Amino acid sequence: MTGHMVAGLDGTAAIGGRVGALSTRPDQALFRAMRQIADIVLVGAETVRREGYGRVRLSEQAQAQRRRLGQPPNPPVAVISRSLELDWTASLFADAPEDAPTHVITCAAADPERLAEAERFATVVVAGDERVEPAAALRALAELGHHVVLCEGGPTWLGELVAADRLDELCLSMSPLMGGDRLPVAVTPEGAGINRFELKGIMAEDDTLFLRYEAEARGGQGDE
Ligand SMILES: NC(=O)c1ccc[n+]([C@@H]2O[C@H](COP(=O)([O-])OP(=O)(O)OC[C@H]3O[C@@H](n4cnc5c(N)ncnc54)[C@H](OP(=O)(O)O)[C@@H]3O)[C@@H](O)[C@H]2O)c1
């Protein structure tokens, strides 16, 4: 599982509740390139609500390249939510193409009426009881044929993936600014341990720095 996030030099993940002002032109290029290779784009519900997240629409050239590889021209989006407080009339759900339907990943504790409503507008996956369990979510996506999973945040959902030891790789763009929201790029749940990463790549363009980290090898059982 790969994560792609952009941060200010102070680690901030948003400015005024949005990521737009943080992202630079080189980061946007990386954002598009990452989406091109993804089987599915995973995102937390708060990011969808705050950013008015739409479905993925790659360039014509990128779509053609994906078709040649036997992939749908655009990867679908999967939204993580327990509350299922999502706008089903939004383009993310209403305009999702048949070959890339928007997925909603939720848990068994979700409200049954909202769950039934979600099923009318999205491909619903139940992965976990009280909350979405990252390992179960990734397993379910793999069963649906989505192996290259790209997480685009937000910090809370990314923190869940980190705490569950499911973040294999992080591509972090550092933007040349400070002073955004008091929100780091990952918010791990209370009591979560420390995860370590190894630096595997560094690039720079203009004033943006790109860092590629891989999780240190895991030793425990149940690794996938
Ligand atoms: N810097 C970046 O690269 C970047 C990337 C993305 C977003 N952002 C910014 O991050 C902010 C939003 O991030 P955020 O951390 O507040 O929220 P988030 O991670 O986008 O979404 C949190 C929501 O996801 C659902 N969720 C997360 N873990 C869950 C679990 N284990 N089980 C069930 N549901 C779960 C819940 O949805 P429900 O409430 O529906 O149950 C929760 O409220 C925005 O300001 C956005 O601009 C920055």
Ligand 1 neighbourhood includes 117 CB (under 6 angstroms): no
Average pLDDT over residues 38-47: 98
Tokens representing 19 are 């990521």
Q: How far is the CA of 157 from the centre of ligand 1 (A)?
A: 5
Q: How far is the CA of 69 from the centre of ligand 1 (A)?
A: 31
| pLDDT tens readout for residues 137-161 | 999 999 999 999 999 999 999 999 9
Q: How far is the CA of 65 from the centre of ligand 1 (A)?
A: 31
Percentage of the chain modeled with pLDDT above 90: 96
Average pLDDT, whole number, for the chain?
Answer: 96
Maximal CA-CA distance, the chain: 50
Taking the CA of residue 106 as reference, the ligand 1 atom at the shortest distance is 33
Q: In the predicted model, is pLDDT for residue 218 greater than 80?
A: no
pLDDT of the residue at 217 = 81
Cis peptide bond prior to 154, omega within 30° of 0: yes
| pLDDT tens readout for residues 1-18 | 999 999 999 999 999 999
- Angle made by CA atoms 49, 55, 56, in degrees to the nearest 5: 125
Q: In the predicted model, is pLDDT for residue 219 greater than 80?
A: no
Ligand 1 neighbourhood includes 44 CB (under 6 angstroms): yes
Q: In the predicted model, is pLDDT for residue 202 greater than 90?
A: yes
Q: Which long-range contacts (CB under 8 A, 24 or more apart) does 109-117 make?
A: 109/82, 110/81, 110/82, 110/83, 110/84, 111/83, 111/84, 114/83, 114/84, 114/85, 115/84, 117/84, 117/88
| pLDDT tens readout for residues 47-72 | 999 999 999 999 999 999 999 999 99
Q: In the predicted model, is pLDDT for residue 114 greater than 50?
A: yes
Answer with the residue of higher pLDDT: 208 or 223. Answer: 208
3-state SS, one letter per residue, for the chain = CEEEEEEECCCECCECCECCCCCCHHHHHHHHHHHHHCCEEEEEHHHHHHHCCCCCCCCHHHHHHHHHCCCCCCCCEEEECCCCCCCCCCHHHHCCCCCCCCEEEECCCCCHHHHHHHHHHCEEEECCCCCCCHHHHHHHHHHCCCCCEEECCCHHHHHHHHHCCCCCEEEEEEECCCCCCCCECCCCCCCCCCCCEEEEEEEEECCEEEEEEEECCCCCCCCC
| pLDDT tens readout for residues 73-91 | 999 999 999 999 999 999 9
Q: How far is the CA of 64 from the centre of ligand 1 (A)?
A: 31
Is the Cβ–Cβ distance between 181 and 163 less than 8 Å? no
Is the Cβ–Cβ distance between 25 and 206 less than 8 Å? yes
Q: In the predicted model, is pLDDT for residue 46 greater than 80?
A: yes
Taking the CA of residue 5 as reference, the ligand 1 atom at the shortest distance is 3
Is the Cβ–Cβ distance between 132 and 82 less than 8 Å? yes
Domains and CATH numbers, the chain: 1-38+148-218 (3.40.430.10), 43-146 (3.40.430.10)
Taking the CA of residue 84 as reference, the ligand 1 atom at the shortest distance is 40
| pLDDT tens readout for residues 167-186 | 999 999 999 999 999 999 99
Percentage of the chain modeled with pLDDT above 70: 97
The band of 223, judged by pLDDT with boundaries at 50, 70 and 90, is: very low
